[in-house]
Amino acid sequence: MTDKPFKLFDLKVEVVAGEAPMVCHHVEGSYFLVEGESLVFSDVIHFPMYPLAAILPLLPAKQRVTDDHDWMSTDSEIACPDPHCGARFRITRLGVRTFTHAGTTGLPHARGRPHWKDKAADD
Ligand SMILES: [Zn+2]
């Protein structure tokens, strides 16, 4: 039972310009990916920590299937937490990745091979 699969969306979090100027050190078009529990920064040299702290709590919900009428399904731009900054962060759902309970849980009695060692997690 613990090897039953579940799916999470991969996400892309991209810096986009809002109506006001950006006052933090954001680079429009830069992005990072979310793959399971991992943040993947491939082309980003830096990412300000205050907006990252504001974005992080939303990512696990965006990874999961939500009701079509849930704002989490429809709203995709997060404002920079600096009220004077115009930066926005667009969260886009990409492909779906399959995990298993045994590959992701921390429960000692249910723990199996970690998902990051399992090729099957790379759908
Ligand atoms: Zn900002």
| Per-residue model confidence as pLDDT tens digits over 1-13 | 568 899 999 999 9
Asked if residues 22 and 87 have their Cβ atoms less than 8 Å apart, the reply is: yes
Which chain residues have CB less than 5 Å from ligand 1, an ion?
Answer: 24, 80, 82, 85, 87
CA 56 to ligand 1 centroid distance, Å:
15
Tens digit of pLDDT for each residue in 68-113? 999 999 999 999 999 999 999 999 999 999 999 998 888 888 888 8
CA 70 to ligand 1 centroid distance, Å:
26
Instruction: Give a yes or no: residue 55 inside a domain.
Output: yes
Instruction: Give a yes or no: residue 121 inside a domain.
Output: no
| Domain around 108 | 5-116
Instruction: Give a yes or no: residue 123 inside a domain.
Output: no
Tens digit of pLDDT for each residue in 30-45? 999 999 999 999 877 7
**Number of domains making up the chain:** 1
CA 10 to ligand 1 centroid distance, Å:
24
Q: Please give the Cα distance from 44 to 56 (Å, whole number).
A: 17
Instruction: Give a yes or no: residue 38 inside a domain.
Output: yes
pTM for the whole structure: 0.88
